[in-house]
Amino acid sequence: MKFPNEQSEPVILIVDDDVNDQSFIRRAFRQCGVVNHIATVNDGEEATTYLRGLGLYADRSLHPLPRLIITDLKMPRMGGVDLLAWLNEREEFRLIPTIVLTSSNDQVDVKRAFEHGAKGYLIKPVQFGDLSKLIRIIADYWRVSCVPVPGSSISDGPGHS
């Protein structure tokens, strides 16, 4: 899933405390032809460690910044809304598109997620076939979407000096 004007396949970061859900999401992406590296972490706190390039994630050649984050909401240590708030507070991560994929259809959760910078909010289907269809929609949308490169500025683009 190359983004327009992208030379390499960008990384997708899955943030979910359920290893089965991580596996199903990864499998669904593969099933719809996405060959990107898919990194997985178990909660928002581990996601912040990954994003800051600390500890196990210090080698950026092995753990590059993601170009898309898919996060669950209800997780131990740091949940999805807190992760969204953390991302939104940091200029270097604020523009990474982050989609909530969760089982909660509570309108309070939906509102809080968007208030803290979510670019989408989707309900996790129970059946794998339905999850696969949903992941295909996500993949198809992000294949054609223009996404800012983390750490770039307006002057980095063509026609700017």
Look up residue 67 and give its DSSP letter.
Answer: E
Task: Please say whether the beta carbons of 1 and 143 come within 8 A.
Answer: yes
Tell me whether residue 28 is in a domain: yes
pTM of the model: 0.85
What the block records as the tokens of 70 is 């898919």
Tell me whether residue 161 is in a domain: no
Look up residue 5 and give its DSSP letter.
Answer: T
Report pLDDT for 35.
85
Task: Give me the number of domains the chain comprises.
Answer: 1
- Give CA separation, 59 vs 45, 51, 54, 142, in Å: 18, 11, 8, 26
Structural domain range at position 122: 11-144
Say how far apart CA 11 and CA 91 lie, in whole Å. 19
Tell me whether residue 17 is in a domain: yes
Tell me whether residue 149 is in a domain: no
Residue-level pLDDT, tens digit, the chain, 161 residues: 544 444 456 899 999 999 999 999 999 999 988 888 999 999 999 999 999 999 999 999 899 999 899 999 999 999 999 999 999 999 889 889 999 999 999 999 999 999 999 999 999 999 999 999 999 998 888 877 776 666 555 444 443 33
CATH number of the domain enclosing 90: 3.40.50.2300
Tell me whether residue 1 is in a domain: no
Sheet of 38-41: strand order equals 38-41, 11-15, 66-71, 98-102, 120-123
Report pLDDT for 7.
43
Tell me whether residue 20 is in a domain: yes
